[in-house]
Amino acid sequence: MAASGALAGTSFVRAGAAGILAAAEAACTARDEGAPFETLSDAEAREFEAIAARILPTTDTPGAREAGVIWFIDRSFGSIFQGRLEFARGGLAAFQAAIPAQYPGAHAFSDLDTADQDRYLATQESTGFFQFLRIMTLAGFFGMSSYGGNRDHVGWKLLGLEHEHHGWQPPFGYYDAAWRRDETDDA
């Protein structure tokens, strides 16, 4: 069985494997060198990054910002989310439309302080745009860093996943370790 629910309503467009690999390598380099964005304008990137940074905020551990998720997002429109850029642009415009009226003096999501950002985001949770941004943020934060995000494997470190391990040996967890001790005692 598979992850039908989580992915429903989101279109993943497949680019060629070679193209994805090339884009991924380019994204990696760009993130580390702070190169210009490829598909997003600086203003768009600022908003996408601000949203991503509230989905996975910086706390006592690194968040989407430190993971370089915006580099993943920028490059993904040219590869794995090819064909979705216009949807995302239109979605961003609609997402921000109510901000100036609600927050005088503010024009964009990134103009708000984080408390207001969270309050505003809570009103947008059910939109397709937010769901799409959420998936992109999670893919950028927890995916392989070759795609442009997950800088220094901060996403995997958050989970306690030691990226340098490619395999494991038992005991794996607390309960099977205890089970093995009991087995030994019985023997």
Query: What are the residues binding another protein (CB under 8 A)?
Result: 1-14, 17, 20, 54-57, 59, 61, 63, 80, 118, 121, 125, 134-135, 138-139, 141-144, 147, 155-156, 158-161, 166-170, 172-176, 178-179
CB nearer to another protein: pick between 12 and 101: 12
Q: Does residue 65 contact residue 52 with C-beta atoms inside 8 Å? A: yes
Cβ density class 137-171: b for 16+ within 10 Å, e for less: bbbbbbbebebbbbbebbbbebeeeeeeeeeeeee
Amino acid at 133: L
Task: Provide the sign of the torsion angle of the four alpha carbons 82, 83, 87, 90, taken in this order.
Answer: positive
CB nearer to another protein: pick between 42 and 186: 186
Task: Please state the closest distance from residue 186 (CB atom) to another protein, in A.
Answer: 14
What interhelical angle do 69-76 and 42-55 show, nearest 10? 120
Task: Please state the closest distance from residue 107 (CB atom) to another protein, in A.
Answer: 23
Three-class SS state of 95: helix
Question: Among all chains, which residue has been given the structure tokens 């340098």?
Answer: 164
Helices (H), the chain: 4-7, 17-33, 42-55, 64-67, 69-76, 85-96, 99-102, 114-122, 128-142, 154-159, 174-186
The half-sphere exposure of 34 on its side-chain side, counting CA atoms within 13 A, is: 2
